[in-house]
A and B are shown apart, each in its own frame.
Chain A
Amino acid sequence: MALTSDRATVRRRGTVAVIDLPGQIDISAEATLNDAYKEAERVSTTILLNFAGVDYINSQGIALIVGLLARARKDKRAIEACALSDHYREIFEVTRLSDFMKLFESEDTAVAREGGTR
């Protein structure tokens, strides 16, 4: 697993804007997440949240993701997620977030599925 960080980075990979999320998705990540999303909006209409460096998500974090998802749906963008741990994948299923965003095993499978290349 990547080292956890308190910052998010935004990258373009193929046709996808990848947001590498900070280690902790809770209320403290709100500004970081919103800024990263704004940047990603400029890069692509498909935004991939990369959870590889995330080791903690709580209900506040779920609310932040729901907020992003609501915003994306309004703007007709797609949000996808990759590299969730088994536990947080279960949480995405329990909360039914997985009904509204595609979940991928890894960044590579997500990008391949999108037909993107390096």
Chain B
Amino acid sequence: MLSLTRTLRWVRGRRPEPSAASDSDIARVVSRAVRYAPEAEPIDIAPNDPLLAYLASAPGPVATLDLDLDSPAVAELRRTGVRLIVPLVSQGELIGMLNLGPRLSDQEYSRDDRALLDKLATQTAPALRVAQLVREQQAEILVREQLEQEMRVAQLIQQQFLPKETPRLPGWQVAAFYRAARQVGGDFYDFIELPEKHIGLVIGDVTGHGVPAALVMATTRSFLRADAPRLVSPGAVLARVNDLLHGDIPPNMFVTCLFAVLDPATGRIRYANAGHDLPYVRTAQGVVELRATGMPLGLMANMTYEEKDAVVGPGESLLLHSDGLAEAHSRDREMFGFPRLRRLVAENPGGQALIDLLLTTLHRFTGPAWEQEDDITLVTLTRSAGVSEDAVVDEFSVTSEQGNERIAMDRVAKAAAGLGLSAKRLERLKTAVAEAAMNAIEHGNQGRAELPVTVRVETADGELRVSITDRGGGREIPIATTPDLEAKLAGLQKPRGWGLFLIKKMVDDMRVTSDERHHTVELVVKLKEATDGADE
């Protein structure tokens, strides 16, 4: 009813043009205005007042004294001296009213007056409506811009606190995926190094969206990181974090969180769960849910958390997930569902391949036009089947942010350190890895932080092979050509374009493969060096 009270205020505030009247005229007008409208406050009309319905279908101006309605608004209008109401109706909707006091001559409004006012109203109403719409739209745009700005901040916080790379666990393949919904939710995951080479696995979800959820997520993560190495016991860690959060968290917010401690050497997992979606372990006997009871974090103080044990055997895998996947809806409002997720886990050995399969299946399920409803987080850990066939030295992924190529480079250098490469060849490999990872981040994944670049370091047939895979499948594989330095120096070509050329020069072989979803560059260095004069 904002528009109605505003319209009224506008009419009352109006004065005759002073230039057209002498001082005594003005005094007379003002005194009359005061007489008929003692107070200048607008009148609030309740949305259910019968006057509104009456005016919406009135044929023209209405005299307040003629109205026989049980309406507080009419009484109020009469009291403030309003004699005539001219309804402003646009497309059947009452959008405002012109309220007039008595004529200055104290005579009744004539039929001509009413006809003129009616004509005025039919022209004013659409113009007023347009003005209202413009104002509403401007307000909407402002709100949307503010929301988007907030989402950008939330995304920034979120990204800042998610791991930039998956940890290196000998005998395990670790892969992770996180994609924020447009209205960033509060999903998070983490890997925490613990004493005795154990590793803490965290997955959680903060209720709500945007900056508040992101801030609570960051706080929870800090509490977990601070307490996990000291307490180790997953139940004790969650109990402690719950107490810390309970004092800090805004009302109506809470955090679901699973915390597990893995001993990579034995596959033993000790875990506790604060109301988070149950992880799945794929075993030879089928898929097992890891159940443990516990209230979400931050709801009530002094909670205890049940602690349980499980073992991930050789060849088995573990999936941690958030509800963004299982609770996604198709166009017919069908839910993706936990049974479907469980079935997919059963059908697939795990690792990055499982994440890819889940995302492809989700995409098919929701259709391409789907707007992601909630954050999606997936973390898988797969234990290799046996030590003897394990030629994979390391496998990890980095997120697609500028500069992360150096993380990939240093990690590969560390993995290759024990393989007997000369310092020179190792330096060459590092440059090639950095360049290939940079291409994957910038071109393959278009710098979209949530897309992983997967790096696999393995040895086979006397070769060290580093595969770098991005999600930019289906694009043409460029051919490494020798850049024309003279043309670049003469300003005839851009200075850029050295990446592929450098990669090719730095390794013994480069193999590029591509399917419709992935693009992989495999860098090959011979472990037993051919007599290379340049090498030491």
- Report A's interface with B, CB cutoff 8 A: 26-28, 56, 58-60, 62-64, 66-67, 69-70, 73-74, 86-87, 90-91, 94-97, 99-100
Across the interface, which residues of A come within 8 angstroms of B496, CB to CB?
59-60, 63
The answer on a CB contact under 8 Å between A59 and B403 is no
Interface of chain B: mostly helix, strand, loop or mixed: helix
The answer on a CB contact under 8 Å between B490 and A63 is no
- B residues 484-526 touching A (CB-CB < 8 Å): 485, 488-491, 494-499, 501-502, 505
CB within 8 Å for A87 and B427 given contacts A95-B483, A95-B502: yes
Query: Does B455 have its Cβ within 8 Å of any Cβ on chain A?
Result: no
Across the interface, which residues of A come within 8 angstroms of B438, CB to CB?
58-60
Query: Does B209 have its Cβ within 8 Å of any Cβ on chain A?
Result: no
Query: Does B84 have its Cβ within 8 Å of any Cβ on chain A?
Result: no
The answer on a CB contact under 8 Å between A58 and B485 is no
CA distance A87 to B422 in the complex (A): 12
CB within 8 Å for A70 and B434 given contacts A27-B402, A100-B489: no
Across the interface, which residues of B come within 8 angstroms of A26, CB to CB?
403
In the complex, besides A59-B496, A100-B489, 17 extra interface pairs with C-beta distance below 8 angstroms are: A26-B403, A28-B402, A58-B431, A59-B435, A59-B497, A60-B438, A60-B496, A70-B488, A70-B490, A70-B495, A73-B489, A86-B424, A87-B427, A90-B428, A94-B505, A95-B485, A99-B485
CA distance A91 to B428 in the complex (A): 9
- Among candidates A59, A91, A94, residue contacting B499 with C-beta atoms closer than 8 Å: A59
Interface of chain A: mostly helix, strand, loop or mixed: helix
The answer on a CB contact under 8 Å between A28 and B491 is no
The answer on a CB contact under 8 Å between B435 and A70 is no
Which of A28, A59, A66, A69 has its CB near the most chain B CB atoms (within 10 A)? A59
Query: Does B277 have its Cβ within 8 Å of any Cβ on chain A?
Result: no
- Among candidates A58, A67, A74, A87, residue contacting B495 with C-beta atoms closer than 8 Å: A67
Which of B428, B438, B485, B501 has its CB near the most chain A CB atoms (within 10 A)? B485
Question: 24 interchain pairs (CB within 8 A)?
Answer: A28-B402, A58-B431, A62-B498, A62-B502, A63-B496, A63-B498, A64-B495, A66-B485, A66-B495, A70-B490, A70-B491, A73-B489, A74-B491, A86-B424, A87-B428, A91-B431, A91-B502, A94-B502, A95-B483, A95-B498, A96-B485, A99-B485, A100-B485, A100-B489
- Report B's interface with A, CB cutoff 8 A: 402-403, 405-406, 424, 427-428, 431, 434-435, 438, 483, 485, 488-491, 494-499, 501-502, 505
Residue of A nearest to B406 (CB): A56
The answer on a CB contact under 8 Å between A70 and B402 is no
Across the interface, which residues of A come within 8 angstroms of B505, CB to CB?
94
Residue of A nearest to B503 (CB): A59
Across the interface, which residues of B come within 8 angstroms of A28, CB to CB?
402-403
Across the interface, which residues of B come within 8 angstroms of A90, CB to CB?
424, 428
Residue of A nearest to B427 (CB): A87
User: Lowest 3 CB-CB distances: which A-B pairs, in order?
Assistant: A87-B427, A59-B498, A66-B495
CA distance A96 to B486 in the complex (A): 10
- Among candidates B406, B424, B434, B497, residue contacting A63 with C-beta atoms closer than 8 Å: B497
Across the interface, which residues of B come within 8 angstroms of A59, CB to CB?
435, 438, 496-499, 502
Residue of A nearest to B434 (CB): A58
Across the interface, which residues of A come within 8 angstroms of B406, CB to CB?
56
Residue of B nearest to A70 (CB): B489
Residue of A nearest to B492 (CB): A70
Across the interface, which residues of A come within 8 angstroms of B501, CB to CB?
95
B423 to chain A, nearest CB (A): 9
- Among candidates B405, B489, B494, residue contacting A58 with C-beta atoms closer than 8 Å: B405
Residue of A nearest to B428 (CB): A87
CA distance A70 to B438 in the complex (A): 25
